[in-house]
Structure 1
């Protein structure tokens, strides 16, 4: 049997659903076995959203990089995941790395980085392919056969975009001389791809590699999302080993300058968020991210049970005054079990405890009154995950030192709150996504409770809260279409 036999692997996948382990999530995309990471090929084609993502179907190591594929019309009902793209020739023998997707001429095409190593030397190539009726990708033309001069073999993750009727791609890279991160742009000219050079920014020395770039337009603004590696941690940001964030400004494709751009801002303040991909459709910018972190495998004990990592729920992005706001995709409201709603309305209380469901959405507005410290705690028996707001410091702290399994630590970031703290929490079996101040900040993280118990929400403050208003819904699971 071939190493990557699609029929055999797809059959094994079908047997793995529904996902049954107590750490398997209900409304986050993940696999019954193997390691997943970067979302890829996010596109809308023939009435459905197509989502690809990196997957090692042979184990929980960062190798054997393939692409898995699902499609959905509503982000709730999905086709069963399948193996779609895998290493099988000289160009990608060491992995099918990240890329993007596009619907053109009635076909769904993908563009990805082929990875191969010869005598330890990395030789990347950028290649198109087309999705076939059986769910596999037919590999086609190589448009960039190697890395350009003055750029190392760390040259990957192409992302297609258009400007003024012309097609371009942005790709992550590393300069050869000083081994610093950068991004290059190529333009399609008469069927060939021309290197326009590096994007010039005011960021200066900003890490040793830029991965997973996206180039987007929000009105008159250009936004470059990318993942710089090698930034030192600071008191209130950049606290993960690698970052995922953006700058907003105005990109000149003539001078290759990102003009008047903002400072680098993180897209997510949690422990477990990397390699986002954003896709624009019908006026919406939709984001999917990898709930995981490179080079931190020991933080994810599901490895002992044969699988690792999740994808985030889809998010909608908006740009306001140079800052990206995130909110859950509107389709996710249909996950709410409406008859389960718990309405909260309490005045002048400093403590409140409420049992949750196996999957919950919590939407709260806390009127602080005289309170200076307010905490929202998810209790898993004797374990706990804490979101604590310090009004005097204007900081939010996420603390998972109270969990026994998996990664621990704290994340602290600035968050302006005047009188009302807005918090929206999605609590899955092992995944938690939190939206603060109507999406001004967001945090993604994974927890692995020791016992199979439903969590409780506790709210407490140092002084009585003037008002607590909100709803808690039970959330249904994603639905997968089983095929004979």
Structure 2
């Protein structure tokens, strides 16, 4: 009996994990409590949902090498957002409509099934792209059956038309898709359905050359539209923005607008674009509403085309990871991001609880949580990353060496209020910094010498310091084949 393409691809991926997975996990840069690929490359979070009490996070995955290609959907689950299990492969690029990649998408709970919508990527012999919006579904949340193409490319757009995010509102289903118009402007498109089978193209909700924008990029990826704090928030990742002072300094950006969506008229009125994260690596986030009513977001700790191939883990057979899940809140028209209360379960040893009044130097574990209350002048982690506060201009800056040439590069933000609180999470090769209870966030990779555990802090006056060692073994990958 000839093995089906889907099963053959799964077996090839499982073999890659068997052959290389152990050496990948031995890499000193491999995370202890963040989600990363078992081998190969991970990028966008997909299908992020709490379904029947279990959190499901799917991810774009290339299992065969630490580069891009025809993507699979890998799959992690968790009951508590702290401990995670790697599940069997959810989707493979095995059909005519997705043979060059099962691209990003989302998940919904409908008809007692977990339903996935994703973009099937197809390229012909001349490298011409086609894109299809595809449905797959599961009764157990583990094994998925593809149900075929539900939306083909409408008129007015190039085949850069992808990343469906689906939700329910007042008894109807809605979908936003990231798109490029035929005149090469980034945009977000709305569809409507009563049954998740037949979809009506309602039109463009926002585009890069229409008010309040004049030139917001040539392609918008990974849109996510949701209600937060009584407003309709659209998060998306525009490509093609030029750096503007301290803004838009990554290769591609991720940010949001706040407004109101008229579902009946398919009209979205919104304000200007604000970056969601100020660090070096943050892209393509996706949010979900859990059964506690929290809007929780996970982002990819990476950026496309931003020296990915130069990250030091590539030679060890893997690259990239996810952010921690974070809770979103909207206050005075601005999104705040907060570590979840569940993250306290990561704590193992309360290493430090003191007040510092002068510069100190100490050592921390490579999986650590650090809290500082009070103004600081600088923090230096592992003699590699440096956080500096310019009190007069209220500018906070993160520095690190460039992957490309080792020269110091920077990312900065201007604070609305004085610096009063910093909350840092370190995990072998990653750093997440929450500023002033989530007013700003810096997310970055951190490839310091693994033998260097130094932490140096210089307060402006005095600051309360707490340090915890964090668990290093919260992700299980042993039992993912079925």
Question: Fold conserved (TM > 0.5)?
Answer: yes
- Partner residue in 2 for 1:13: 17
The DSSP-based 3-state class of the residue aligned with 2:343 is helix
Q: Within 5 Å, give how 1:374-385 maps onto structure 2.
A: 374-379=377-382, 383-385=383-385
Residues 164 and 360 of structure 1, relative CA distance in 2, 3 Å threshold? same
Q: What's the counterpart of residue 102 of structure 1?
A: 108
Against the structure 1 CA distance between its residues 403 and 159, is the aligned structure 2 distance closer, same or farther, given a 3 Å change threshold? closer
Name the CA distance, whole Å, in 1 between partners of 2:288 and 2:407.
30
1:185 positional shift: 0.2
Deviation at 1:466, TM superposition (A): 2.9
Give the drift of 1:406: 7.5
Kindly state the Cα deviation for residue 79 of structure 1 after the two structures are TM-superposed.
1.6
For residue 298 of structure 1, give the secondary structure of its aligned residue in structure 2. helix
- Mapped contact 1:362–1:424 kept (Cα < 8 A): yes
Q: Trace 1:206-221 onto structure 2 (pairs within 5 A).
A: 206-221=216-231
Partner of residue 190 from structure 2, selected from 185, 190, 195: 185
1:291 and 1:384 map into 2 onto residues whose CA distance is: 18
The answer to whether residue 139 in structure 2 is matched with residue 144 in structure 1 is no
Q: By percentage of residues, which structure has more strand? A: 1
Aligned partner (choices 466, 469, 473) of residue 464 of structure 2: 469
Q: 1:343–1:471: 8 Å Cα contact kept in structure 2?
A: yes
The 5 Å alignment of 1:213-362 reads 213-259=223-269, 261-282=270-291, 283-296=293-306, 297-337=308-348, 339-346=349-356, 349-362=357-370
* d(CA) in 2 for partners of 1:25, 1:43: 23
Aligned-pair CA distance for 1:9: 2.8
How high is the TM-score relative to the length of structure 1?
0.91
The Cα offsets for residues 3-61 of structure 1, whole Å up to 9 and x where unpaired, read as 85324533653672592210101111012311110000011112200110000011122
Distance 2:60 2:254 in 1: 17
Q: List per-residue Cα deviations over 1:452-473 (Å, max 9, x = no partner).
A: 2252221125xxx332113100
Distance 1:210 1:21 in 2: 34
> SS at the partner of 1:85?
coil
Q: Are the counterparts in 2 of residues 58 and 64 from structure 1 also a CA contact under 8 Å?
A: no
- Which residue of structure 1 aligns with residue 422 of structure 2? 423
The answer to whether the 8 Å contact 1:298/1:406 transfers is no
Does structure 2 retain, via aligned residues, the 8 Å contact 1:299–1:407? no
User: Could you say if the C-alpha distance between residues 204 and 334 of structure 1 is closer, same or farther in structure 2, counting changes exceeding 3 Å?
Assistant: same
Counterpart secondary structure, 2:451: coil
The DSSP-based 3-state class of the residue aligned with 1:79 is strand
Q: Quote the offset at 1:237 in angstroms.
A: 1.1
C-alpha distance 46-163 of structure 1, shift in aligned 2 (>3 A): closer
- TM-score w.r.t. the length of structure 2 is 0.91
Structure 1 gap ranges (5+):
369-373
Offset, 1:133: 5.1
Q: Is 1:445–2:444 an aligned residue pair?
A: yes
Equivalent position to 1:117, from 112, 119, 123: 123
Q: 1:459 aligns with which of 457, 460, 470?
A: 457
